[in-house]
Amino acid sequence: MSAHGNTSQLTAERRTDFNRSSIRSLRKSGRIPAVVYGPSMEGVPIHLDAKEVYKFVRTSRSELFHLKVEDKTIPAVIKAVQERWGNWIHLDIQQVSENKPLRVKIALDYQGVAAGTKVGGVLQTQEVELEVEGLPSALPTSIPVDISHLNVGDKLTASELKLPAGIQLAGTGSELLASIILPRGATAAETEEETAESAAK
């Protein structure tokens, strides 16, 4: 993997053999088969170095990168991944325009310790990714989600997030991200008592 300006670059090679044995050989040699979709490379079969791909996507699958295939370099994102036993076995890569908004899913980074968990509540997170829209250059590697203010009975929806500049929600904003519930068998009275004791200390 190399840098192309401020954007990472992955280099790929075209695939010419499509039978199962050749695909297995590719994977055994540390390569990941993929297909590129876009205006200038519609349905082009390629393969990439698995170590370079894993290194790149360690932060986010949705991050913009430049894909070099032979003498052509295009801006792209990873749109879909096929996995088997924890290994990536195939990628769908989409060519994008750096001047047009892109809709992608971004990883959520839950931050802080919810206030409700300090008095016996249990944190439940419902989503690990959130679909947003923005120019490729504005897409973050993750979206911070502050949960420190959540008390027992509170819920956090997508519309309450403070999104980074340049991106917006692709959905309605009603998506439930996190909530604090009482553990099974606990009562509201017990939790209120614990809250009062905690405040008195």
Strand 142-146 versus strand 102-111 pairing type: parallel
Q: Using pLDDT thresholds of 50, 70 and 90, give the confidence band for residue 42.
A: confident
* Cα-based distances in Å from 142 to 35, 61, 130, 196, 199: 25, 10, 9, 36, 34
Helix (H, G, I), strand (E, B) or coil at 106: strand
The angle at the Cα of 167, spanning 162 to 168, to the nearest 5 degrees, equals 70
Residue 197 and residue 193: Cα distance in Å, rounded?
A: 6
Residue 29 and residue 23: Cα distance in Å, rounded?
A: 10
Residues 182/193, Cβ–Cβ less than 8 Å: no
Reported as a single tens digit per residue, the pLDDT across 108-117 is: 999 999 999 9
Residues 112/119, Cβ–Cβ less than 8 Å: no
Tell me the whole-structure pTM to 2 decimals. Answer: 0.68
Instruction: Tell me the average pLDDT across 48-66.
Output: 82
**DSSP readout, 109-156?**
EEES--GGGGGT-EEEE--SEEEEEE-GGG--SEEEEE-TT--TT-EE
Q: How much of the chain, in percent, has pLDDT values that exceed 90?
A: 53
Residues 106/100, Cβ–Cβ less than 8 Å: no
Strand 176-181 versus strand 122-125 pairing type: antiparallel
Q: Using pLDDT thresholds of 50, 70 and 90, give the confidence band for residue 128.
A: very high
The predicted pLDDT at position 39 comes to 81
Could you give all domains of the chain from N- to C-terminal order, each with its CATH number? Answer: 2-96 (2.40.240.10), 103-200 (2.170.120.20)
Q: Which residues pair with 132 in a beta bridge?
A: 104, 169
Reported as a single tens digit per residue, the pLDDT across 159-193 is: 999 999 999 999 999 999 999 999 876 655 555 55
Q: Which two tokens stand for residue 76?
A: 């792209």
Strand 87-95 versus strand 31-37 pairing type: parallel
Q: Which two tokens stand for residue 78?
A: 């990873």
